Structure 1
Amino acid sequence: MNSSFDPYAYVLAALDGLGPEPLTGTVARHAPDGHRDAAAALLGGVWSALARPGALATNFRLVESGREIDRSRWMRSRVGDGEVLHTELVPAYLQSAVDRGATLVVSHLDALDGTVMMLREAVEYLLTARAWVNCYITAGTASAFDVHTDDHDALILQLAGRKRWEVDTRIGAGAADLAAGHLDTVLEPGTCLSVPRGTAHRVTGTGELTVHLTVGYEPFADAAAEARRLCTAGTGLPAADRTRLAGRLARRTERRHGVSLPGALTGELRDDARIRWASRFPPTVEHARDGLVITTMDRRFRLDGRLARTVGLLTAGAPLSWSQLCERSDLPAADVRSLVGFGIRHDFLICEG
């Protein structure tokens, strides 16, 4: 992963610039501070994934004029020792296909690159949403998919070249075509665009090699589905109650990518460690008379109330260096170290480095 790029900070800046509440469904574009550095870092993840598709080769599709090109033409695979799948792309065929207007689609790019995975995790944590990242690489001016709608919200991140986006003004209408006066914009590297679900849009190249990521996301998807099942069963959890839905997601056992292996094995915390909350979705923190009650990954912890500020820094979700955590905390460094050590042992904090 590119150590100089902070995916969490980039996603936070992008969401702030796209509007006060992306979940309300707005079409907007924004170029966050440092957007070109972010584009370069994420583009490095794309090239890395193309160099080693591995066992996730089925995540790759080559689409031309709305049809998929047979994978055997542009990908070679073999099973090696230990039944490990070795896969290589065929550069000459891919280049020819992309030059004539085909689009290489990499689904769930976050499963192939650590930097992109951290980007996806930041979106999930900040929007309390299930998210995934797809990549689109093309050249020329053709559109592989023409006008279409998606059944999920999306954040578009342009990484290389320029791409033209036409987006309907009738947000979420599920229209089959674009209305007069629709948004017509060209995205530059580092620029992002929000496209709500059910909104018609068309994407075309501008005659140059172009790469963009689509971060699809579904707010409260799992908890909302669970709520609907409970309501059908007569137990009555309102699907629109975000506080309750967030509480149910806090009990999910899913974690972010990463492990506190050095600290867990040695019991020591290095001064250059980077610390972040481990759960995929934010925890719930209740302030009780005798302290804090934290629910995360289907577990409950009761902590001293004096830890409230430090816990707040950690549960915000951003990775913090050890020095940053100590500077912003109102506790002595020894107490902060004890809290972090407790978090490592009980697996609700990830400490890397």
Structure 2
Amino acid sequence: MTAFDAFAHAQSLLEGLDSLDGLGDRQPPAGRVRLYEPGKAADAAARDALLAGVWSALARPGALATNFRLVESGRQIDRSRWLRSRVGDGEVLHTALVPAYLHSAVERGATLVVSHLEALDERVMLLCEALEYLLHARAWVNCYITAGDNSAFDVHSDDHDALILQLHGRKHWQVDSRVGARSRDLADDSLDRVLTPGMCLSVPRDTAHRVSGTGDLTVHLTVGYEPFADVLEETRAAHELAGRPAPDPGREWLAARLAQRPDRRAGASLPSALTGEVQPTTRIRWASRFPPYITTDEDHLTVTTMGRRIRLDTRLGHTVGLLARGGALTFGELAVRSDLPTTDVRALVAFGARNDFLICEG
């Protein structure tokens, strides 16, 4: 899965949820429970790539022991039974799963939880970054694997919004229709569905839900996200220190603040940055994990991204806007869609690669 594929899949998921209840200008799908059933071959390819990422993450050495939990009947099983760890290379903690005990526990209904899967596999990381960009949100990915028909967790709610991506097998979800109720008893009209591979479920924060297996091996990802979370926390903390109540910031102000964060997507532009050369097939994408904040005046285009302000000629506005959408374009596609001469597009891409606000790959 390339960055281009991951971004297209993230768009497909959100557009599927959008078609049910309307995301407006790509607001996070909060406010009610939503379900998306894919119908594209590309969705199946993306699902298979993510599932391959799960198996790869389980097999790779060097993951932290804290990335893994084994939960049975609401209680964690001691890691010493199913995980081997050793310290090497200074303070690096190497881990390896113990297959015999793990298989037995999962088959009788225990759930293996892999936290922050995006840190263990590039394919999952690319999807996580794409969703962050589209939702203006800090996001992370946990994976849940079980083979029983019981629930490792009782009815509970989470303090963050979540997207559930079913990758393998079938999982039974019951989600309270009363968003924010945090009830231990689900309402009669709650969602009650068995998710099959490719389906995506949106669960708003503080919404009670119960999850259980269907007797088959099942794997799903939970993408947790908090829109503008860090920015809001920083704003509230600053006002508390000053001894005054925090205002209710507007979306534009929040977007401007988010663009000041230094967070960068994974990827390198070293060859293009050094030589200034790009090929027609070179894929180009914005480097920031969050959208840039763009303002214009009579003479200049001011782009705030990753904590830096970049002043450009206003004639570059349309081309910069194409790149700032977040997906990947080949240089050939960008040149065709741009309203600039090809030489000017090439100069902009070279400038972006040298100044690290564009990633050029291939």
Which TM-score bucket, shorter chain as reference? Answer: over 0.9
Q: Which amino acid aligns with 1:186?
A: V
- 1:87-106 aligned at under 5 Å gives the runs 87-106=95-114
Match of 2:32 in 1: 26
Of 116, 128, 143, the match for 2:124: 116
Cα distance, 1:201–1:45 mapped onto 2, change above 3 Å: same
Cα distance, 1:158–1:121 mapped onto 2, change above 3 Å: same
Distance in 1 separating the partners of 2:84 and 2:130: 34
- Secondary structure at the aligned position of 1:194 is classed as strand
- Secondary structure at the aligned position of 1:306 is classed as helix
2:192 matches 1:188: no
Distance in 2 separating the partners of 1:276 and 1:225: 29
- Secondary structure at the aligned position of 1:54 is classed as coil
Tell me if structure 1 keeps the 8 A contact 2:30–2:161: no
Distance in 2 separating the partners of 1:148 and 1:43: 26
Match of 2:15 in 1: 16
Distance in 1 separating the partners of 2:233 and 2:113: 29
Match of 1:345 in 2: 354
- Of 73-82 and 129-138, more deviation after overlay is shown by 73-82
Shift of 1:239: 3.0
Partner deviation per Cα, 1:46-72 (whole Å, 9 max, x = no partner): 011001141423201111111111112
Shift of 1:45: 0.5
Alignment size in residue pairs: 352
TM-score, normalized by length of structure 1? 0.95
Q: What's the C-alpha RMSD, in Å, of the aligned pairs?
A: 1.8
Distance in 2 separating the partners of 1:175 and 1:84: 42
Match of 1:211 in 2: 219
- 1:175-324 aligned at under 5 Å gives the runs 175-232=183-240, 233=242, 238-324=247-333
Match of 1:126 in 2: 134
Distance in 1 separating the partners of 2:209 and 2:285: 37
List runs of 5+ in structure 2 lacking aligned partners. Answer: none
Match of 1:173 in 2: 181
- Secondary structure at the aligned position of 2:180 is classed as coil
Match of 1:71 in 2: 79
List runs of 5+ in structure 1 lacking aligned partners. Answer: none
Match of 1:7 in 2: 6
- Secondary structure at the aligned position of 1:334 is classed as helix
Shift of 1:265: 3.4
Partner deviation per Cα, 1:59-89 (whole Å, 9 max, x = no partner): 0111111111111211222334566543221
- Secondary structure at the aligned position of 1:270 is classed as coil
Partner deviation per Cα, 1:118-154 (whole Å, 9 max, x = no partner): 1111111111111100000001211011100000000
Distance in 2 separating the partners of 1:335 and 1:5: 24
Distance in 1 separating the partners of 2:269 and 2:147: 42
Distance in 2 separating the partners of 1:171 and 1:84: 42
Of 43, 52, 62, the match for 2:60: 52
Distance in 2 separating the partners of 1:312 and 1:5: 17
- Of 101-110 and 52-61, more deviation after overlay is shown by 52-61
- 1:74-85 aligned at under 5 Å gives the runs 74-80=82-88, 84-85=92-93
Tell me if structure 1 keeps the 8 A contact 2:318–2:338: yes
- Secondary structure at the aligned position of 1:303 is classed as strand
- Of 321-330 and 75-84, more deviation after overlay is shown by 75-84
Shift of 1:227: 2.1
Distance in 2 separating the partners of 1:15 and 1:249: 21
- Of 115-124 and 271-280, more deviation after overlay is shown by 271-280
Tell me if structure 1 keeps the 8 A contact 2:4–2:328: no
Tell me if structure 1 keeps the 8 A contact 2:111–2:146: yes
Shift of 1:346: 0.9
Match of 1:153 in 2: 161
Q: Which amino acid aligns with 1:7?
A: A
Shift of 1:208: 0.5
Tell me if structure 1 keeps the 8 A contact 2:30–2:203: no
Shift of 1:235: 7.4
Distance in 2 separating the partners of 1:16 and 1:343: 30
Q: Which amino acid aligns with 1:66?
A: G
Tell me if structure 1 keeps the 8 A contact 2:274–2:354: no
- Secondary structure at the aligned position of 2:64 is classed as helix
Tell me if structure 2 keeps the 8 A contact 1:224–1:239: no
- Secondary structure at the aligned position of 2:100 is classed as helix
Partner deviation per Cα, 1:163-213 (whole Å, 9 max, x = no partner): 110000001122122111211011111110000000000011111000000
- Of 11-20 and 29-38, more deviation after overlay is shown by 29-38
